[in-house]
Structure 1
Amino acid sequence: MNDKKMQLIHAGMRLFGEKDYHTASVQDIVSLAGVSKGAFYQHFQSKEEMLVSIYRHYFERFHAELHEAQFKLSRSPRELLIIAIQLQCKLVFEDKAFLCMIMKGIAFSHTQALSDLFLQESARSLKWYQDRITELYGPALAPNALDCAGMLNGLLKEYFFFAIFHNHPMDSATLSIYLIERLDDLVQGILHRKTEPILNPSYLHPAYANPSDGHSLQTSIERLREWITTRVDDPQCSRALLQTLEALASEIGKEQANGIIIQGMYNYFITLAKENKPLIEQFEQLFRSKVQPT
């Protein structure tokens, strides 16, 4: 992502967090960023598109760093849970305005596309925690793993609230270990009492893995476009990935889609993506159900 776009994103995030989305104008944003209105419209068609880009930027940054820790560093499930909390602390404490935006409920107060994006990313994060918690504590806890993920996530948000709005000093290493120890206590109580789960994992998985309507599919495709545009350095590869993505989405959208064409474009995209595991993971998550196994 280029410098001007990042300047605009940080300015928009600060204004949306400190003031209000509706009262912050494009002129306010460019003035704070120190760029022209022309520069704004080179990168965003509207404030709404900027808002979506802000969320995408932070969600993808978190998942990319988490993916690297999980697959390149070969950490244990317990270490991964600690790292995940530390990463969230790092992102929030580096840009407190981002958390202010979330606390204000901006994601749920605007268009359906933005709400869908926020819900999908929340489900994606909870699913990741659910899987790591199951790996750490074993199959006996599996029915309650989503409840544990939700409670851990809720605890973390409360500590973020104290750090942001009460200026309470927080050390991410200390906090992450403290919360995982509390998770140990929670799990021990659940297993001892054989507690029935409240949350059913089946409610989460469709939202996480298989957007069912065209609107959600389009939102996810836009997220993939953003990833390719900002993170694939080779221009030729980036163009080929974007063209293949568009062609695949177009074919799937047809009333009489050609399965052979879809399968071929799917395989070609995976080949182009090479070792970019976060990109491949998102791509497969989105299109896996649309393609027959080979």
Structure 2
Amino acid sequence: MNMKPGVYMKEKKIKLIETGMKLFAEKGYHMTSVEAIAEGAGVSKGAFYLHFQSKKDFIVTAFRHYHQEITARVESVQKQNLAPRDSFAKQIEVVTKYIYRYKDFLMMHLYQNISIGENTDVFMKQMNAENFHWLRQNLNRIYGDKMAPYYPDMIIQLEGLISGYFKWIIIDDIHIERNQLGPYIVRRMDDIVSGLLEREETPLVTPDDIPEPYREEVPVSTILTAMKDKIDTLGLTPEKVRELEDVIGIMFTETGKDHPQKPVIQGLLVHFQRIPEFEQECQEMARLLHIQLLD
């Protein structure tokens, strides 16, 4: 059976990313050459430049690739018919499994001083905002509006719990059962909630103290950027990739207007509604723009 060109290109690109991340972890970002990455992945240097413009472009793409991978796994759990506590615990479990699988990449990220440009700084800020909204969404599903005044404090403590365990996993190589960390952290949040209510604590950080990027919903431009990044991960034909990227470009222009034409956006989103992997993005776009998705 012949492999579709898009699938072949995707596999080569992922192979290069995974090879590069391992080499960065072993030798350091600055000591790893493009030639070494290409050789390790079993391709020519020229083939490397078919996928990446430079080593900086490579590392930026790697960041986005791993972020998309882990986001897709979390979204898959969210779509399951699980109770809120079980769902959150399962989401933490899939992230934990991912941490163990890609420790090389994460080790490199922690230890390497890499200047990779302003665009990546923006991307990192978007990731932080998305993480805040992810935690806020799960806390709200579990505890409801009664804990809303405490959510900033709870998110800060929750981030500390999760990142603390992940740091020990990555740096100190401790072993934690993948399916135990999620339920354990959810139980600790129950303890925090119980203590806050029992002592009638005054929040240290109020909702009004939340930085502006975290206070707002994820903007349409961020969703469109994520959709554009996801296109390259689906193994589509080059023609289909170009078509969808053109559609994204038009949507960027239209949604950036003071008064975007909703029928135009509805028609453009149809291109993505036909692809199951974009179901959640289409629904979120429709919600933010107050439009109905076309059948």
What's the CA shift for 1:263?
Answer: 2.6
The structure showing larger relative contact order (alpha-carbon pairs under 8 Å, at least 6 residues apart) is: 2
Pairs within 5 Å for 1:90-169: 90-104=97-111, 109-169=115-175
Structure 2 residues not aligned, in runs of 5+: 1-6
Distance in 2 (CA, whole Å) between partners of 1:245 and 1:208 is 20
Structure 1 residues not aligned, in runs of 5+: 212-216
What's the CA shift for 1:172?
Answer: 1.3
Counterpart position of 1:241:
244
| CA shift in 2, pair 1:119/1:277, >3 Å | farther
The CA RMSD over aligned residues, in Å, is 3.0
TM-score normalized with structure 1 length: 0.82
Out of 4, 27, 39, the residue aligned to residue 31 of structure 1 is 39
Note the alpha carbon deviations across 1:121-161, whole angstroms, 9 max, x for none.
Answer: 12112211111111211211112223323322222222122
What's the CA shift for 1:194?
Answer: 3.0
Pairs within 5 Å for 1:15-94: 15-71=23-79, 73-94=80-101
Distance in 1 (CA, whole Å) between partners of 2:282 and 2:21 is 28
Q: Which amino acid aligns with 1:79?
A: D
Q: Does 1:228 align with 2:237?
A: no
| CA shift in 2, pair 1:142/1:252, >3 Å | closer
| CA shift in 2, pair 1:284/1:111, >3 Å | farther
Identical-residue share of aligned pairs (%) = 27
| CA shift in 2, pair 1:105/1:21, >3 Å | closer
Q: Does 1:210 align with 2:219?
A: yes
Asked if the contact 1:244–1:265 (Cα under 8 Å) also holds between the matched residues in 2, the reply is no
Asked if the contact 1:117–1:220 (Cα under 8 Å) also holds between the matched residues in 2, the reply is no
Asked if the contact 1:26–1:47 (Cα under 8 Å) also holds between the matched residues in 2, the reply is yes
Asked if the contact 1:70–1:80 (Cα under 8 Å) also holds between the matched residues in 2, the reply is yes
TM-score normalized with structure 2 length: 0.82
| CA shift in 2, pair 1:98/1:148, >3 Å | farther
What's the CA shift for 1:75?
Answer: 1.5
Q: Which amino acid aligns with 1:134?
A: N
What's the CA shift for 1:197?
Answer: 4.1
What's the CA shift for 1:23?
Answer: 2.7
What's the CA shift for 1:78?
Answer: 0.6
Note the alpha carbon deviations across 1:25-80, whole angstroms, 9 max, x for none.
Answer: 21222122222111110111111221121121121122222222222x22121112
Counterpart position of 1:214:
none
Count the aligned residue pairs. Answer: 281
Counterpart position of 2:3:
none
What's the CA shift for 1:281?
Answer: 4.1
Distance in 1 (CA, whole Å) between partners of 2:112 and 2:158 is 20
Q: Which amino acid aligns with 2:108?
A: M
What's the CA shift for 1:223?
Answer: 3.6
| CA shift in 2, pair 1:60/1:14, >3 Å | same
Q: Does 1:187 align with 2:170?
A: no
Asked if the contact 2:17–2:58 (Cα under 8 Å) also holds between the matched residues in 1, the reply is yes
| CA shift in 2, pair 1:95/1:82, >3 Å | same
